[in-house]
Structure 1
Amino acid sequence: MNRTTLSLIAGTTALAAVTAFAAFDTPSASGAAAPTAAARLPVERSGLLCPAPSVSDIADTSYTSFTPVTQGTAHTGKAELRAADEQSTDATNGKGKGDRKKADQPVLTPKAPGTPVTGDTSGADGPALIGTADGKFAPGWTVQETTEVAAGTGRGLLGVNCTAADTEFWFPGASTADGRTDYVHLTNPDDSAAVVDIELYGKDGAIKSPLGENLTVKPHTSEPILLSTLTDQRQGDLTAHVSVRSGRIGATVQALDDKTGGDWLAAATDPAGTLVLPGIPKDATDVRLIAFTPGGDDADLKVRLASPDGLITPAGNETLHVKSGMSTAADLGDVTRGEAGSLVLTATDQAVPVVAALRIVRGKGDKQETAYIPATAPVGTRATVADNSAKGTTLALTAPTATATVKVTASAGSEGGTPVTKTYTIKSGTTQDVAAPTPSGLKGTYALTVEPVSGGPVYASRTLAATEAGIPGFTIQTLANDRGMVAVPRTDEDLSVLQK
Structure 2
Amino acid sequence: MNRTTLSLIAASGALAAVTAFAAFAGPTASGASAPKAAAELPVERTSLLCPAPSISDIADTSYTSFTPVTQGTASTGTARLQAADGQLADGTDNSGTGKGAKGSKSSKGGKKTADQPVLTPKAPGTPVTGDTSGADAPALIGTADGKFAPGWTVQETTEVAAGTGRGLQGVTCTTADTDFWFPGAGTAADRTDYLHLTNPDDSAAVVDIELYGKDGAIKSPLGENQTIPPHASKPILLSTLTDERQADLTVHVSVRSGRVGASVQALDDKAGGDWLAASADPAGSLVLPGIPKDATDVRLIAFTPGGDDADLKVRLASPDGLIAPAGHDTLHVKSGMTTAADLGDVTRGEAGSLVLTPTDQSVPVVAALRVVRGKGDKQETAFIPATAPVGTRATSADNSAKGTTLSLTASTATATVRVTASAGSDGGTATTKTYTIKSGTTQDVPAPVPSGLKGTYALTVETVSGGPVYASRTLSATESGVPGFTIQPLPNDRGLVAVPKTSEDLSVLQK
Taking structure 1 as the reference length, what is the TM-score of the superposition? 0.92
Deviates more, 1:487-496 or 1:442-451: 487-496
Pick closer, same or farther for the CA change 1:31–1:305 going to 2, 3 Å.
same
Q: Which amino acid aligns with 1:249?
A: V
Q: CA deviation at 1:268?
A: 0.3
1:104–1:495 CA distance, 2 compared to 1 (3 A): farther
Paired with 2:332 and 2:100, the residues of 1 have a C-alpha distance of 53
* Rounded Cα–Cα distance in structure 2 between residues aligned with 1:115 and 1:151: 33
Relative distance call for 1:28 and 1:239 in structure 2 (3 A) is farther
Q: Tell me, yes or no, if structure 1 residue 255 matches structure 2 residue 251.
A: no
Note if 1:326 corresponds to 2:373: no
What's the CA shift string for 1:66-102, capped at 9, x where partnerless? 000000000000111000106434485389xxx9774
**Residues 1:412 and 2:423 aligned together:** yes
What is the Cα deviation at residue 203 of structure 1?
0.2
Distance (whole Å) between structure 1 residues aligned to residue 169 and residue 27 of structure 2: 55
Contact 1:88-1:100 at 8 Å conserved across structures = no
| Closer, same or farther: CA 470–195 of 1 in aligned 2, 3 Å | same
Instruction: Tell me the secondary structure at the aligned position of residue 32 of structure 1.
Output: coil
Q: Is the 8 A contact 2:85 2:100 kept in 1?
A: no
Q: Please state if 1:477 is matched with 2:501.
A: no
Q: Does 1:220 align with 2:243?
A: no
Q: Which residue of 1 aligns with 2:5?
A: none
Separation in structure 2 between the aligned mates of residue 246 and residue 402 of structure 1, nearest angstrom: 41
Query: In structure 1, how many angstroms separate the alpha carbons of the residues matched to 2:251 and 2:135?
Result: 25
Which of 282, 289, 307 lines up with 1:278 in the alignment? 289
Rate the CA distance shift 1:442–1:205 in 2: closer, same or farther, 3 A: same
After superposition, where does 1:14-29 map in structure 2 within 5 Å? none
Preserved CA contact (<8 Å) 2:302 2:365: yes
Are 1:32 and 2:41 matched, yes or no?
A: no
In structure 1, the partner of 2:122 is 111
- Give the TM-score, by structure 2 length: 0.90
Give 1:12's aligned residue. Answer: none
Please name the residue that 1:172 is paired with.
183
Q: Which amino acid aligns with 1:154?
A: G
Q: Tell me, which stretches of 5 or more residues in structure 1 are unaligned? A: 1-24
Q: What's 2:73 paired with? A: 73
Counterpart amino acid of residue 311 in structure 1? L
Q: Is the 8 A contact 2:410 2:469 kept in 1?
A: yes
CA 1:439–1:206: 2 relative to 1, 3 Å? same
In structure 2, C-alpha distance between the alignment counterparts of 1:497 and 1:319, rounded to whole Å: 53
CA apart distance, 1:497: 8.4
Question: Is 1:443 paired with 2:485?
Answer: no
1:55 positional shift: 0.5
Can you list the C-alpha shifts for 1:372-402, whole angstroms capped at 9, x where unaligned? 0000011000000000000000000000111
How far the C-alpha of 1:34 sits from its partner, in A, is: 2.2
| 2:429 matches 1:423 | no
Match of 2:166 in 1: 155
Whole-angstrom distance in 1 between the partners of 2:502 and 2:320: 49
Counterpart selection for 1:463 from 474, 479, 485: 474
Aligned to 2:20: none
Distance 1:350 1:489 in 2: 35
Give the C-alpha shift of residue 496 in structure 1: 8.7
- CA distance in 1: counterparts of 2:27 and 2:444, whole angstroms: 49
Give me the CA root mean square deviation. Answer: 1.9
Distance 2:94 2:329 in 1: 60
Structure 2 equivalent of residue 10 of structure 1 = none
Q: Distance in 1 between matches of 2:55 and 2:92?
A: 27
Q: Is the 8 A contact 1:146 1:157 kept in 2?
A: yes
Helix, strand or coil at the partner of 1:380: coil
Report whether the alignment pairs 1:139 with 2:150.
Answer: yes
* Deviation by residue 1:374-431 (Cα, 9 ceiling, x = unmatched): 0001100000000000000000000011111100000000000000100001111110
**Percent of aligned pairs sharing the same letter:** 85
- Supply the distance in 1 between the matched residues of 2:41 and 2:482 (Cα, whole angstroms): 46
101-110 or 309-318, which deviates more: 101-110
Please give the secondary structure, in 2, of the residue aligned with 1:108: coil
Q: Any stretches of 5+ residues in structure 2 without a counterpart? A: 1-24, 102-112
Rounded Cα–Cα distance in structure 2 between residues aligned with 1:201 and 1:69: 42
Q: Counterpart of 1:233?
A: 244
Letter in 1 for 2:134: G
Task: Give the conservation status (yes or no) of the 8 Å contact 1:130–1:189.
Answer: yes
Letter of the 1:338 partner, please give it. Answer: G
Which of residues 351, 356, 361 is equivalent to 2:362?
A: 351
Residue 36 of structure 1: how far off its partner (Å): 2.4
The residue that corresponds to 1:396 in the other structure is 407
Mapped contact 2:380–2:483 kept (Cα < 8 A): yes
- Cα distance, 1:108 vs structure 2: 1.1
Corresponding pairs, count: 473
Which of structures 1 and 2 has the bigger CA Rg? 2
CA contact (8 A) 1:26 1:33 kept: no
Query: CA 1:325–1:92 in 2, change beyond 3 Å: closer, same or farther?
Result: farther
Q: Is the contact made by 1:288 and 1:330 (CA closer than 8 Å) also made in structure 2?
A: yes
Could you list the per-position Cα deviations for residues 356-385 of structure 1 after superposition, in whole angstroms to 9, with x for gaps in the alignment? 000000000000000000000110000000
Q: CA deviation at 1:103?
A: 5.2
Query: Within the alignment, does 1:43 sit opposite 2:43 as a pair?
Result: yes
The Cα of 1:488 is off from its aligned counterpart by 1.4
What is the DSSP-based 3-state SS (H/G/I as helix, E as strand, rest coil) of the residue aligned with 2:295? coil
- CA-CA distance at 1:38 after TM superposition: 1.9
Flag the 1:350–1:224 CA change in 2: closer, same or farther, 3 A: same
Q: Distance in 2 between matches of 1:492 and 1:461?
A: 41
- Aligned-pair CA distance for 1:477: 0.2
In 2: Cα distance, 1:385 partner to 1:73 partner: 20
C-alpha distance in 2, partners of 1:171/1:198?
11
Q: Distance in 2 between the 1:391 and 1:303 partners?
A: 32
Shift of 1:344: 0.4
User: Alpha-carbon deviation of 1:37?
Assistant: 2.1
Aligned-partner Cα distance in 2 for 1:489–1:377: 23
- The answer on 1:291 being equivalent to 2:280 is no
Q: Distance in 1 between matches of 2:427 and 2:225?
A: 49
Query: Are residue 122 (structure 1) and residue 133 (structure 2) matched?
Result: yes
User: Matched residues in 2 for 1:366 and 1:392: separation?
Assistant: 22
**TM-aligned CA distance change 1:395 to 1:94, over 3 Å:** closer
Letter aligned with residue 337 of structure 2: M
Does structure 2 conserve the Cα–Cα contact (< 8 Å) formed by 1:159 and 1:477?
yes
- For the residues of structure 2 that align with 1:316 and 1:499, how far apart are their CA atoms? 65
* 1:58 paired residue number: 58
The answer (yes or no) to whether the contact 1:27–1:35 under 8 Å persists in 2 is no
Paired residue type of 1:322: V
Alignment equivalent of 2:327, drawn from 316, 337, 341: 316
Structure 2 CA distance for aligned equivalents of residues 94 and 380 of structure 1:
39
Task: Report how far residue 121 of structure 1 moved.
Answer: 0.2
Which one of 212, 229, 232 corresponds to residue 201 of structure 1?
A: 212
* CA positional deviation for 1:255: 0.2
**Cα distance per residue 1:325-366 (max 9 Å; x no partner):** 000000000000000000000000000000000000000000
1:214 maps to amino acid: N
The residue that corresponds to 2:7 in the other structure is: none
